[in-house]
Chain A
């Protein structure tokens, strides 16, 4: 049981380049989300999805796009990378039917934008 898998683990981009961070989960969770973690800022929600075909914005959505075509996958796209997007990105999933709402996190993707 792999849980939540993120790829790549590390990426370096130049300003203006685009890329996609991949996230896949094998727990059949309806809820999936993307966070960024910056020093001293804690985890901040970028986008989330409560099921296939449904996405919504979180606290810091600008510069990022998401889609949810399947229950398992929730990719995060950076359309034109900026140095301010240098961060560690975490994908998390949750069982929507659970009364406890535990989030299961991936191992993170460290992105550097030069």
Chain B
């Protein structure tokens, strides 16, 4: 069964600090991995996508990495801001073009304190 595990479940950091969120998956065959950001009371929004051939991709202060051999991804947030407080969801698709049934992680809840 395809599974996506995220850690930690929750994280509290001070504004300006860096943090790293983890995603491990057992989805096969792998097509792509996305990180979504979900603000409280809003729908998830895509931050970045990683395909099999990509190791690192940045989107502003967000940097995602992918190790396809160990089936692990991480999302690194640099110089955190209060607006980074949100849930971060890892989603893995198993077919080219995105699986019609993507596999979702349960998310990491990040709280950034001033």
User: Measuring CB to CB, which residues of chain A are less than 8 angstroms from any residue of chain B?
Assistant: 4, 31, 40-45, 48, 50, 58-59, 90, 92, 94, 96-103, 105-108
Contacts and interface: CB of A to CB of B under 8 A. Distances in A.
Given A107-B43, A108-B43, A101 B98 contact: yes
B106 A98 contact: no
B98 A108 contact: no
B101 A45 contact: yes
Contacts of A101: 31-32, 34, 93, 97-99, 102
Given A45-B101, A48-B101, 13 more contacts: A4-B43, A40-B106, A42-B105, A43-B44, A48-B100, A96-B97, A98-B98, A99-B98, A100-B49, A100-B98, A101-B31, A101-B93, A107-B41
Contacts of A4: 43
7 contacts: A42-B105, A45-B101, A100-B49, A101-B34, A101-B102, A102-B34, A103-B44
B97 A102 contact: no
Interface string B44-62: 1110010000000000000
Contacts, number: 62
Contact of A31 (B100, B106, B107): B100
Contacts of A99: 96-98
Residue among B98, B101, B106 with the most chain A CB within 10 A? Answer: B98
Interface string B85-99: 000010101001111
A79 B96 CA distance: 35
A69 to B, nearest CB: 20
A108 B96 contact: no
A43 B104 contact: yes
A45 B101 CA distance: 8
A108 B46 contact: no
A15 B45 CA distance: 33
B36 to A, nearest CB: 8
Contacts of A97: 97
